[in-house]
Amino acid sequence: MLERLASRNADEIRERRSALGMSQARLAELSGTSQQTVDRIERGITTASRFIPEIRRALGLHTIASDEEMQRAVHNDMKVAQALVDAIVDPVERELAASNAFVQRMKDQVENSPFMMPVFSLGRTATGEQLLYEDPARLITRPEPLGNVKGAYGYFMYSDEMAPVFNIGDLLLIDPTHPCRPGDDVLLRSPRGDGYAVKVRTLAQVGDDAWTARTWSGAPAETFKYNDWPICHLIVGKFTRL
């Protein structure tokens, strides 16, 4: 930028002097400097000189800042531009950081709170798959069966596969610490990127390498390999949707 300004300054001085039919010596006399200085300015060799404003005034040109002044101006412009960027970006970053910190604080408080617990529902991915994500849909007061259970949570039933035991919209109460046995109603989870695929089933068998579980719809029992479905949490109760 500074180089372009200096070049333009040299061109303007040379062209205006030639248009006026003025010699370098006469211009130097009017500006209080030497012919050699005028020549070096016109050829762009000298870009910072205290005589440049005087030379431009003698030619009837508007004065421009010296090289040092231009550098200060550019520096100030950059500071202003950075301040504008900061004014836009910083609040966004602060808001995002505050939001992330708030979510983390909520998670910490919920995990350690004897009074509150998170409730999760399914979200739909871009491919249409429904997954359970770590961010809770809401917080509720812990019901009695889960009063002192670390990591307890609720889950909204989304299908009728387990009707009439669990219906769509029922809030299932989950105890992740209790071992699951055949005959228990369970929530199975399978990691899927940032979330989990979820199945609500009645556990039929705990095998060497898989869970065997069934629904209440009359469909045949299904096998869920431990490698794909490593998480089995006990359902200890429900709030029925009214």
Question: Over the stretch 189-206, which tens digit does the pLDDT of each residue have?
Answer: 999 887 899 999 999 999
Domain positions in the chain: 2-64, 116-239
Answer whether residue 5 shows pLDDT above 60.
Answer: no
End-to-end Cα spacing for the chain = 71
- Per the prediction, the chain carries an average pLDDT of 79
What's the CA gap between 7 and 225, in Å, rounded?
Answer: 75
Per residue in 13-53, pLDDT (tens digit) is 888 888 888 899 999 999 898 898 899 888 888 776 778 88
| Sequence-distant (≥ 6) Cβ neighbours of residue 235 within 8 angstroms | 166, 172, 173, 174, 175, 184, 185, 186, 187, 200
Residue 183's pLDDT band (cuts 50, 70, 90) = very high
The domain at 116-239 falls in which architecture? Ribbon (2.10)
CATH T-level topology, domain 2-64:
434 Repressor (Amino-terminal Domain) (1.10.260)
